[in-house]
Amino acid sequence: MQDRKIVLLMCLVIAILIVVGVGCDGCDRKKIEVTGPPEIHLTYIPPIGSFERLKGEVRNVDPNSVAVAVYIFVEGNWWTKPYWNAPKTPVKRDGTWLCNITTGGNDPMATKIRAYLIRKDYNPPLAPQEGLPPDPPTSDVLAMVEVTR
């Protein structure tokens, strides 16, 4: 009788652990499929004059190991976005990202936008003073996309 109670108690504990998801490391994570070189894409480009956010996604990389460095070209110079003290845009688990590119001055009038897929521990240059990241691919700069609007 005592053995039966122990078995029932163990079954109950296991059932509770399954219900709350303990021991299910990564159950809610999207499987990362690498089908080629690292890529970065812009999925929404705000129109000139807009204060909307730039949207994009990355592919063929672990989203936890990368970030995005965004630059806009306005009034003859490239500028780091969203801010000098926050030059990296995080990538969500599903590979998507969102960046505020209108954080000062005449930002809504930017005519070009660049987004670089970088390693999370890389410190991108702060534009305009430090210039732009090197053209990819390098060990730290994995991919780049540019659009003129």
Residue 20 vs residues 8, 43, 50, 93: alpha-carbon distances, Å: 19, 35, 44, 21
Scanning the structure block, which residue is given the tokens 């303990």?
22
d(CA 43, CA 15): 42
Surface-to-core class of residue 115, CB atoms within 10 Å of its CB (0-12 exposed, 13-18 middle, 19+ buried): buried
Q: Using an 8 Å Cβ cutoff, are 83 and 60 in contact? A: no
Domain range summary for the chain, segments of one domain joined by + = 39-148
d(CA 73, CA 50): 15
| pLDDT at 144 > cutoff 60 | yes
pLDDT by residue (tens digit) across 49-90? 999 999 999 999 999 999 999 999 999 999 999 999 999 999
In this prediction, residue 5 has a pLDDT band, given cuts at 50, 70 and 90, of: low
Domain 39-148 classification at class level: mainly beta
pTM of the full structure:
0.79
